[in-house]
Amino acid sequence: MFRNAQRPLLFCAVPEDYPVPGFVIAEGWLFERSLHPADAPPPGFHSRAASAGVRFNGFYLFHLIA
């Protein structure tokens, strides 16, 4: 998962076997951590939406709910 430096509640999740999107490689995004299946998902992460996002886009953008 990557965190947006300007909007710290905005995350981009990318499966490890997918290329990191070009917009994430640019300045402004920081690697946050890996998310493993046994880990509790962060608030705001929805597995079904993530699956759809990855299927269509190769990544999943979500907003952390504090």
**pLDDT (average), residues 59-64:** 96
For 32-47, the pLDDT digits (tens) are 999 888 999 999 999 9
**pLDDT (average), residues 48-58:** 97
HEC assignment per residue over the chain: CEEECCCCCEEEECCCCCCCCHHHHCCCEEECCCCCCCCCCCCCCCHHHHHHHHHHHCCEEEECCC
- Does pTM top 0.85 for this prediction? yes
Write down the mean pLDDT value for the chain. 94
